[in-house]
Amino acid sequence: MSDIFKKIVSRTQDYAQDIYDFACELIQVESCSGNERGVATLVEAKMKQLGFHDVIVDNMGNVRGSVGTGQTLIAADGHMDTVGAGNLEQWARPPFSGEQDDNHLYGRGASDMKAAIASMIYAGKVVQDLQLTDQFTYMACATVQEEPCEGLAWEYLIEKEGVSPDFVIIAEPSDDLISLAQKGRMELKVSVTGKSAHASAPQMGNNAIYSMAKIVTELEALNDNLEIEDKDLGKGSLVVSEMLSSAPSRSSVADYCEIFIDRRLTWGESPQYALEQVKHLPSVIAAQAQVELPTFEEPSYTGLVPHKECTFPAWKIEKDHVVTRSTVEAYEQLFDQSPTLTTWPFSTNGVAIMGKHNIPVIGYGPGVIAACHVPDEYVIKKQVLRATMMYAAMCITYSNTCNQESVSHA
């Protein structure tokens, strides 16, 4: 291990207890989506205390702060919101106790993703202490409302706040693996209007449920026949998840029917492509069905009301991309072993950053995927430290690789 990586390791170890304690402090403040203010206040104060510059809480309620003065901007993202605690009787420890033992931190958000936020912020402190910051600027971003609407916060940061990183580290739980891709998803609403009639004379009406039944049958077949397949992410999928209908009474022909579709998008399937696929089904055309994209309109804790189409495109970074190579090198330098590369089974803010805006994304974060969204959520302390080291080291390896390659191309 070369000198600089040794220093990152030892400096991170010096801060180990501070990192764990800050993560537990974050866990102790309940922050379901739309209720992140308490955590945002702690994050803002910690960034200022540790000497971050340009600490900003934007109008949506996202908190970001930077260290360093270089042109290259490397961002790390962690969402401040968590899912609810669920049934409290299923928890061995109270969900917001923020307890720790020798090897773990416990509570809702431990893995998803309060320990990650602590790792991201302390990585900034480490690079600053070691005076590594003239080559790059490192920005920690703690974001809102990821759980119900991933990508929402980063659409805001990129489109409204003008944040434009060279790449973004998504610090979602990765079990110490490096994630290079995720499937996208979208929601679709299909509605059919029919004509009611007395149930004793059905030939006088036009039954919306019968029209929808043909659509549902074709959708089931479409799922079985999706053509695009990615070698890492496989095929997309499609599920009819909800159906509603109405009629003037139970003795009438139904005059309205709607369904919701959950569509998982593989690499190569855009939301527009998936929308057109449904619009062009023969049964959809025959019934003159409406095909719409639902929107997300839940206000953030600051009161900002979004109007976001529920489309979340897939993202994927190649193995030979400079971001992937420098992330692998950081791992090898720090831990003296090769990392395992993987893809994420869940969705992240990468859908906006890379899926929509083409800014490279890579995934590495402390946390056990199986411990997320379940009772007795925990995170492994060793992974929390490794993530802190990785975020600091990735700034170095990325800057060095870019410098070497621009010299060799000059």
What is the pattern of x (binds Zn ion, CB under 5 A) and - over residues 333-362? Answer: ------------------------------
Dist. CA 288–CA 338, nearest whole Å: 55
CA–CA distance, 204 with 195 (Å, rounded to integer):
8
Q: Does 112 bind Zn ion (CB under 5 A)?
A: yes
**Can you state the angle between helices 381-409 and 322-335, rounded to 10 degrees?**
130
Catalytic residue among 44, 112, 129, 146: 146
Q: What residues form DSSP beta bridges with 378?
A: 106
For residues 172 and 344, what is the distance between their CA atoms, to the nearest angstrom? 9
Please report how close the Cβ of residue 348 comes to Zn ion at its closest, in angstroms: 7
Task: Report the SS3 class of residue 140.
Answer: strand
Q: Among residues 44, 77, 81, 166, which one is catalytic?
A: 81
**Is 362 in contact with 169 (CB distance < 8 Å)?**
yes
The residue to which tokens 């999706």 are assigned: 226
DSSP 8-state symbol, 392: H
| Smallest gap from residue 147 Cβ to Zn ion (A) | 7
Kindly indicate which of the ranges 109-117, 216-224, 225-233, 393-401 contains the residues binding Zn ion, using the contact rule CB under 5 A: 109-117
The secondary structure of residue 305, as a DSSP letter, is P
For 27-46, the three-class secondary structure string (H helix, E strand, C coil) is: HCCCCECCCCHHHHHHHHHH
Our CB check for Zn ion shows the closer of 360 and 367 to be 367
Q: Which is nearer to Zn ion, 117 or 323 (CB)?
A: 117
Please report, as residue ranges, which positions from 45 to 74 form the binding site for Zn ion (by CB under 5 A): none
The number of residues making up the chain comes to 410
Nearer Cβ to Zn ion (78/194)? 78
Nearest-approach distance from CB 206 to Zn ion, in angstroms: 45
Q: Which stretch binds Zn ion (CB under 5 A): 30-38, 121-129, 166-174, 209-217?
A: 166-174
Q: Is position 129 an interface residue for Zn ion (rule: CB under 5 A)?
A: no
- The site string for Zn ion over 198-227 (x = CB under 5 A, - otherwise) reads ------------------------------
Please give the sequence-ordered ranges of beta strands (E in DSSP) within 294-385, or none if there are none. Answer: 295-296, 308-309, 311-312, 315-316, 341-344, 361-363, 378-380
Smallest gap from residue 306 Cβ to Zn ion (A): 18
C-beta of 110 vs 158, nearer to Zn ion? 110
Choices 47-55, 63-71, 171-179, 313-321; region in contact with Zn ion by CB under 5 A: 171-179
Q: Of the listed pieces 164-172, 208-216, 219-227, 244-252, which binds Zn ion according to CB under 5 A?
A: 164-172
Please give the Cα distance from 119 to 99 (Å, whole number). Answer: 17
Q: Is 81 a catalytic residue?
A: yes
Smaller CB separation from Zn ion, 214 or 373: 373
When CB distances to Zn ion are compared, the closest residue is 112
Size of the site for Zn ion (CB under 5 A): 2
Would you tell me the crossing angle of helices 37-49 and 16-27 to the nearest 10 degrees? 160
Active site annotation includes 159: no
What is the β-pairing status of strands 104-106 and 178-182? Answer: unpaired
For residue 326, the one-letter residue type is S
CB of 157 to Zn ion, least distance (A): 17
CA dist 253 → 206, 208, 246, 283 (Å): 7, 8, 9, 19
d(CA 399, CA 326): 9
- Judged by CB, which is closer to Zn ion: 118, or 334? 118
- Residue 172 or 258: the one with the smaller Cβ distance to Zn ion is 172
Nearer to Zn ion, 172 or 377 (CB): 172
Least distance between Zn ion and beta carbon 169 (Å): 14
Taking CB under 5 A as the binding criterion, the range among 62-70, 91-99, 126-134, 170-178 that sits at the site for Zn ion is: 170-178
- Kindly identify the residues of this chain, within the stretch 243-272, that bind Zn ion according to CB under 5 A: none
Contacts from 225-232 at CB under 8 Å and sequence distance 24+?
226/269, 228/266, 228/268, 228/269, 229/266, 230/181, 230/266, 230/267, 230/268, 230/316, 232/180, 232/181, 232/267, 232/316, 232/343
Cβ 33 to Zn ion shortest distance, Å: 11
In angstroms, give the least distance from the CB of 112 to Zn ion.
4
Q: Which residues bind Zn ion (CB under 5 A)?
A: 112, 172
Please give the positions annotated as active site: 81, 146
